Structure 1
Amino acid sequence: MLTPVTDIDGAPFWEYAAQGELRVQACADCGELRFPPRPCCPHCQSFASEWRRMSGQGRVWSYSVPHPPLLPEYAARAPYNVVVVELADAPRIRLVGNLVRAAGDPLDSLDPRGVRIGQRVRVVFDPATGLPQWVLERA
């Protein structure tokens, strides 16, 4: 089972995720959003930061479908999807995850042949790991 590896800059991301919130680090001086989290703003070089709540909505910007040979832990689940999601309220921020049927579902719960660039998605969080996952947005 995958579990988050945290560092001092990214720890708040995982703390919010454990509460079911998607937040992105922002510069407290210039307002620039940044991901992955880091100590210094690449825009203005400020070390002041805050965490802004995102809507959790986005669209599939890109995706891949891994096939064996893979690490043994993943080979039994292949093929599965890995999506890159562009956030609706922060289009320059893209997060990687899996498109699943429902929160906590395994990587292979959705047929990867149905994944398309541009599909609207929303974030859910795996209750066991806190990892962000994505589900299709219902129209």
Structure 2
Amino acid sequence: MSENATYEKPIPVIDPGTKPFWDATREHRLSIPRCRSCGKHHFYPRELCPHCHSADLEWTDVSGKGEIYSYTIARKPAGPVFAADVPYVIAMIALDEGPRMLTNIVTADVEDVRIGDRVTVHFDDVTPEITLPKFTLDKA
């Protein structure tokens, strides 16, 4: 993104609990919390493991690979700033490491998307501070 361009869509608010996630995406890495007590990853970031309620968490880089668990095609924009994007795919991705993540699928043809399709993370640098993780289809 050029320094003079402005990003008009909503951007996430970075707080202390999510800062490691956003720092990693800015470096084009997908990093999510993992519980040292039970060994399970989780997403969205929170202070306690949703599996065992331990506070012994660490941030770990994950593969950025997964499959489409569910999706919808937005054919009407979620506001004026999204008008140029329609149609677009909003999807729930089941990461290979376990957690599910809400995101967008970047594709030239929204009709190509199917539940169960394999996907890989794609990083969209929208501002100097914010990089959004989106996903692309792994179709051959």
Per the TM superposition, whether the score is higher than 0.5 is yes
Q: Describe the superposition over 1:73-98 as per-residue Cα deviations: whole angstroms up to 9, x where unpaired.
A: 1123212111111112x23x111111
TM-score normalised per structure 2: 0.82
TM-score (norm 1): 0.82
Match of 2:54 among 46, 51, 74: 46
CA contact under 8 A between 1:67 and 1:75: conserved in structure 2? no
- Once superposed, what is the RMSD of the aligned Cα atoms? 1.8
Aligned mates of 1:35, 1:46 — CA distance in 2: 15
Per the alignment, residue 69 of structure 2 pairs with 61
Q: How many residues align?
A: 129
Residues 80, 111 of structure 1: 8 Å contact kept: no
The equivalent of 1:73 in structure 2 is: 81
Counterpart of 2:4 in structure 1 is: none
Which stretches of structure 1, 4 residues or longer, exceed 6 Å deviation after superposition?
none
Q: Shift in Å at residue 138 of structure 1?
A: 5.1
Q: Secondary structure at the match of 1:55?
A: coil
Instruction: Tell me which residue corresponds to 1:122.
Output: 120
**Structure 2 residue matching 1:40: 3-state secondary structure:** coil
- The answer for unaligned runs of 5 or more in structure 2 is 1-8
User: SS where residue 87 of structure 2 aligns?
Assistant: coil
Are 2:93 and 1:95 aligned?
A: no
Deviations 1:48-97 (A, max 9, x none): 21011111111111111112263111123212111111112x23x11111
